[in-house]
Every structure is written in structure tokens, then in C-alpha cells.
């Protein structure tokens, strides 16, 4: 299965995936396999919700590299056009004058990796707070999203 095939319902359910990037293929559509376990060399795709600066919330997939201690490397936001990588070249140019509505943003991961360095730096309650905010956002989103 590919990232573009991931159903929003699975994201709102908190599923996570192992992401593989076949050599020579585009970076924005990796091969994915749902999992709860990751190794030190893996890249994990985590179900999340992004809260943008304008207060809107969006289903999101956060890509983290375990090789780099859980460093967040890409963010895919679900749109009417499918999953878009906001870190991809040209994204800022595309949002243009609306960038102030998006940035800054917060990402809440449904089931964070237990050794996530970014969350650990935020303190002992950061993981639980992420899950709480994710779950609250999911309740709001389930009432507003239309099948895609």
C-alpha cells in the first residue's frame, strides 16, 4: 500500500505505519505497512491532527526518522486533493498570501513512539497531552469531515 491510499478513518483511529522509500521513487508517496513496532533504522508514519494558526484542524500524518532519534522529517496534511507534504518544495509558494493562516501550527500525535526525543524534550506529560489533544480533535473532526 502507498501513503496516498491511507484512509482518513484509519488516521482518525490512531493507526501508525512503517514507511519505506524505494530508491529512485518519489518521496511524497512511500510504501507503507501498518504497524505498532519500529526499529532504530525505521521511519514511522504517525496518525496525527494538525491545528493551524487559524484554529482549523486537519487529519495529518507525521513522518519521523528513528535513525535520527525520532526527528520529525515530513508532514502530510489531508486536503481535498489528497495527502500533501507541507515540507515539499513549492508548498509555501502555493499557499502564498495565506501562509499566516497556517503557520505556526501544532501537531498532536495519536500514539506517539515511546522513545520520541521531541516529545521527551517537552517534559514527562507531553506524550499523554498529545494523545488527549489528538482525541479531542478527532471528536470534532469526525463531525465535520465528508467522505473523500
Give per-residue pLDDT as tens, 82-102.
898 888 877 767 776 766 677
Write down the pLDDT at residue 118. Answer: 76
Write down the pLDDT at residue 148. Answer: 43
**Over the range 11-28, which residues count as b (16 or more CB within 10 Å of their CB) and which as e?**
bbebbbbbbeeeeeeeeb
pLDDT, tens digit (0-9, with 9 covering 90-100), for 13-59: 999 999 999 998 888 899 999 998 888 899 999 999 999 888 989 99
109 within 8 A of 115, measured Cβ to Cβ: no
DSSP string of 76-101, one letter each residue: EEEETTEEEETTSTTHHHHHGGGHHH
Arithmetic mean of pLDDT over the chain = 86
CA 114 to chain centre: 16
Inform me whether the pLDDT recorded for 147 exceeds 60: no
pLDDT, tens digit (0-9, with 9 covering 90-100), for 53-79: 889 899 999 999 988 877 888 999 998
Amino acid at each position: 500500500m502507498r501513503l496516498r491510499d491511507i484512509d482518513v478513518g484509519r488516521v482518525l483511529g490512531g493507526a501508525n505505519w512503517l514507511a519505506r522509500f524505494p530508491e529512485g521513487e518519489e518521496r511524497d508517496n512511500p510504501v507503507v505497512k501498518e504497524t505498532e513496532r519500529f526499529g532504530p533504522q525505521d521511519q514511522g508514519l504517525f496518525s496525527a491532527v494538525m491545528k493551524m494558526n487559524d484554529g482549523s484542524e486537519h487529519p495529518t500524518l507525521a513522518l519521523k526518522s528513528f535513525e535520527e532519534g525520532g526527528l520529525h522529517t515530513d508532514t502530510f496534511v489531508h486536503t481535498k486533493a489528497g495527502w500533501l507534504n507541507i515540507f515539499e518544495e513549492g508548498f509555501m509558494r502555493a499557499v502564498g498570501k495565506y501562509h499566516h493562516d497556517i503557520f505556526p501550527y501544532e501537531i498532536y500525535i495519536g500514539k506517539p513512539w515511546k522513545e520520541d526525543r521531541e516529545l521527551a524534550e517537552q517534559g514527562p506529560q507531553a506524550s499523554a497531552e498529545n494523545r488527549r489533544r489528538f482525541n479531542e480533535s478527532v471528536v470534532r473532526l469526525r463531525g465535520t469531515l465528508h467522505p473523500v
